[in-house]
Amino acid sequence: MMKFKKIKNRLVLNRKVIVILYATRHIPRPLSVIRMEHKEDIIEYISIYCTDFYNELEKKAMRHYVAQVKFLPYKDRVEKMTIAYNRDSSNDSEVLKLLKNGIQEFHRNAAERVLNEHLCELTLNTCPKCGGIARTPTARQCRYCNHNWR
Ligand SMILES: [Zn+2]
């Protein structure tokens, strides 16, 4: 049985193509190829679909942001919103630091960390032909080479 070691950060950052042999101790998955030249798109994909891999601080920051945008405007008018705001709003300086340059930069940084630290655990939907990252986990057409798969 083939064993696979975690890819080191510096390799991920320098390589154009990453080939992952998924660990066989879980459900065996096929060989996966990821084209790293689309790194910006990979980071965007992770920031939308792989936030389970965000750490506790990053999850708190996400909840804090939602609390400011969604709950704060109704905080003193709707009881449910007051409860949600008080639950998710944070004054932890570490959390606020993550958000200091805005939500987009926060997601970029968090997703980049996830990419570097959890690449082998991520389930990324990639094109079987060119290895490009798909737009969504269920997409079946490649945005780069137009290949269709089922
Ligand atoms: Zn493709």
Q: In the predicted model, is pLDDT for residue 17 greater than 80?
A: no
Q: What is the pLDDT of residues 71-130, one digit of tens each?
A: 999 988 999 999 999 999 999 999 999 999 999 999 999 999 999 888 878 888 989 888
Q: Which helix (H) or strand (E) holds 35?
A: strand 32-35
**11-25, 47-61, 73-87: least confident range:** 11-25
Which pLDDT score is estimated for 63?
96
Instruction: Tell me what the mean pLDDT of segment 121-141 comes to.
Output: 90
| Residue 4 pLDDT class (50, 70, 90 cuts) | very low
Query: Is the model more confident about 18 or about 128?
Result: 128
Give the tokens for residue 105.
């930069």
Ligand 1 mean position to 126 CA, how many Å? 8
Residue 15's pLDDT band (cuts 50, 70, 90): low
Q: Where are the domains of the chain?
A: 9-121
pLDDT-based confidence at residue 8 (cuts at 50, 70, 90): very low
Residues surrounding ion ligand 1 at CB below 5 Å: 127, 129-130, 132, 142, 144-145, 147
Mean pLDDT of 59-77: 94
Long-range contacts of 59-63 (CB under 8 A, 24+ apart): 60/90, 60/92, 60/95, 61/90, 61/95, 61/98, 61/99, 61/106, 61/110, 63/88, 63/90
37/95: higher pLDDT: 95
How far, in Å, from the CA of 148 to the mean position of ligand 1?
8
Q: How many angstroms separate the alpha carbon of residue 39 from the centre of ligand 1?
A: 15
pLDDT band at 33 (very low <50, low <70, confident <90, very high): confident
